Amino acid sequence: MSTRRRVLDAAVELLGTRGLRALTHARVDQAAGVPKGSTSNYFRTRSALLTGAVEWIAEQDRGAVEGPASLPADVDAFVAQLAGGVEMITGAFRTRTIARYVLFLEGTHDDDVRRPLLAGRAQFQTVVEAAMAHLGAPDPAVAATAVMSVCEGLNIHRITVDPEAEVLAPIEAVVRAFVPAAGPKSSSR
């Protein structure tokens, strides 16, 4: 693993476990197990380090969404996919998710931080909107906004209140609220 990647992984780990104040060059060096000053060789200022962490998270998120998006066969398949995603990012990728939310909050004051995170979210919104259109939602954009809001709410709830909170039923309720009983528009499954 490259030193730069170790530095970025450590920065995200610090953000997700200790918060924004913990993000310093010295702490990242220590957490990454690299020689003192290594982080500043890649990111000269704290602002550059913060931007690097944001871009690293956005890159990791893009990797999870990129590729040919396959449309769900039916509502049950889509609900299962979304529920699995919520469980994954609040479980195995919990620290990165917390870091993302820390950065989203910081982004309310810094457009350079917010912009890459919003771009990643927009990409996911497009995927959800296409799935809702395929499933027959009359207004896929509104449906996608509702579905994403429920998933994001579940993410926050599982991270801050109840890590074992049920995800399938709430997601199914919101998806089914926007999809006619007939199912997908096309019969190509």
Q: What is the pLDDT along the chain (189 residues), one digit of tens a residue?
A: 899 999 999 999 999 999 999 999 999 999 999 999 999 999 999 999 999 999 999 888 877 655 556 788 999 999 999 999 999 999 999 999 999 999 999 999 989 888 988 988 898 899 999 999 999 999 999 999 999 999 999 999 999 999 999 999 999 999 999 998 755 654 443
CA distance 109 to 112: 9
CA distance 20 to 79: 33
Q: What is the pLDDT of residue 187?
A: 43
CA distance 106 to 111: 9
Multiple choice CATH, 3-178, 1.20.1530.20, 1.10.357.10, 1.10.3430.10, 3.40.50.2300: 1.10.357.10
| Domain map (residue ranges) of the chain | 3-178
Q: What H or E segment, with its residue span, contains residue 177?
A: helix 168-178
Mapping DSSP onto H, E and C, the string for 57-122 reads HHHHHHHHHCCCCCCCCCHHHHHHHHHHHHHHHCCCCHHHHHHHHHHHHHHCCCHHHHHHHHHHHH
Encoding tokens for residue 30?
Answer: 């220590």
Encoding tokens for residue 123?
Answer: 């990409």
